[in-house]
Structure 1
Amino acid sequence: MVAYSFKPMFGHQVSSLTKRQTVRADRKRHARPGEAVQLFQGMRTRNCVKLVNPDPLCTRVRPIVIVTSPLLAEFIASIAIDGRSLHRDEIEAFAAADGFGIEHVGDWRFKRTGQTGSARWNMGAFWEAEHGEGLFEGKLIEWEPA
């Protein structure tokens, strides 16, 4: 069984199962389709909380490439999943599904820049703050309730 930890801004979305995916850097072992995943907030801290019971099941794991640039108004230059580049509208839908919908991110975006934006903008600003600009290669892990 594989465990993933989420920032507090995603806790409610994960626990309510409105967020059913996560983007992670490559590591030794990710969840495999059909395997249960444990989803936490604050893992390895005294404030650790398990977000979903029973554990959801991994449905897919696909390679993802995200390219960001501070020269673009929305930060995200491109996203490719399993080798297929997403269209502009698909990037917006992907960012919303990943927890960056305008109604979901709380006040994080205001703290960062004092601006509001689209789900793509929110994801891009978050991504640049957390990962820096440029190329990111990793995995998209998706799950469904058990």
Structure 2
Amino acid sequence: MVAYSFKPFFVPQILAGIKRQTVRTDRRRHARPGEPIQLFTAMRTKHCRKILDRDPTCIEVLPIVIVTSGLLDCGIAGIEVDGTTLHRDQIEEFARADGFAPEHVNGLTPDLVGTTARANMGAFWRANHPADRFEGVLIKWETEAR
């Protein structure tokens, strides 16, 4: 089973079922479709805790490229998922699905105060990923009905 750790401001969104995807760098082993995944916050610290009681199931793992630019107010210049380039409205939708909607994150961290999910995602990526081009995977999951 594969485990992923999340920043604290994503926890309420994961619990509410708003955030059901994550973008990660390549590593030796990611979740595979059909496998359960464990979602944690503060992994590798004494404050580590599991976010969901029931482990969600991985439904999709796709290659992703995210290009950022300090020249744009929104920070995100482009996103490509599984070889398909997202258009402007699709990037906003993607950023919302990834947990950056202003109504859910603004004010939780100094970097996230944008008026759009794309701007919040751009600020987060520029602060946490030094390169202008990121290549990794998009992992999606679904939770069981309770």
Report the TM-score, using the length of structure 2 for normalisation.
Answer: 0.94
Q: Is 2:99 the counterpart of 1:99?
A: yes
SS in 1 for 2:79: strand
User: Does the CA-based 8 Å contact 2:106-2:114 persist in structure 1?
Assistant: no
Q: What value does the CA root-mean-square deviation take over the aligned residues?
A: 1.3
What displacement does 1:112 show? 2.7
Secondary structure of the residue aligned to 1:104 is helix
Following superposition, the deviation at residue 97 of structure 1 comes to 0.4
Residue 133 of structure 1: how far off its partner (Å)? 4.2
CA distance in 2, matches of 1:131, 1:117: 21
SS of aligned partner of 1:27 = coil
- Equivalent of 1:136 in 127, 134, 137: 134
- Once the two structures are superposed, the pairs formed by residues 38-57 of structure 1 within 5 Å of their partners are 38-57=38-57
> Alignment partner of 1:12: what SS?
helix
- 2:71 is equivalent to residue 71 of structure 1: yes
Whether 2:81 is the aligned partner of 1:90: answer no
- The aligned amino acid for 1:131 is H
Aligned counterparts of 1:11 and 1:106: Cα–Cα separation in 2:
14
Output the CA distance in 2 between the equivalents of 1:112 and 1:40: 22
Instruction: Tell me the amino acid that sits aligned with residue 111 of structure 2.
Output: R
Q: How does 1:107-126 map to 2 (within 5 A)?
A: 107-108=107-108, 111-112=110-111, 115-126=113-124
The one-letter code sitting in structure 1 at the alignment partner of 2:133 is L
Supply the AA of the counterpart residue of 1:112.
D
1:29 is aligned to 29
What corresponds to 2:3 in structure 1?
3
Aligned mates of 1:118, 1:132 — CA distance in 2 = 22
Q: Deviations over 1:86-115 (max 9, x none)?
A: 000000000000000011114146x237x5
Contact 1:58 1:141 in 2 (8 A): yes
Q: Which amino acid aligns with 1:137?
A: E
Instruction: Report sequence identity in percent.
Output: 58
Alpha carbons 1:9, 1:106 under 8 Å: kept: no
Report how many residues are paired.
144
Residues in 2 aligned to 1:53 and 1:17: alpha-carbon distance in whole angstroms: 13
Alignment-mate amino acid for residue 25 of structure 2: A
Structure 2 CA distance for aligned equivalents of residues 93 and 129 of structure 1: 21
Distance 1:108 1:77 in 2: 24
- Secondary structure of 1:63's counterpart equals strand
Alignment counterpart, residue 145 of structure 1, candidates 131, 135, 143: 143
Contiguous gaps of at least 5 residues in structure 2: none
Q: Which has the higher mean CA deviation after the structures are superposed, 41-50 or 85-94? A: 41-50
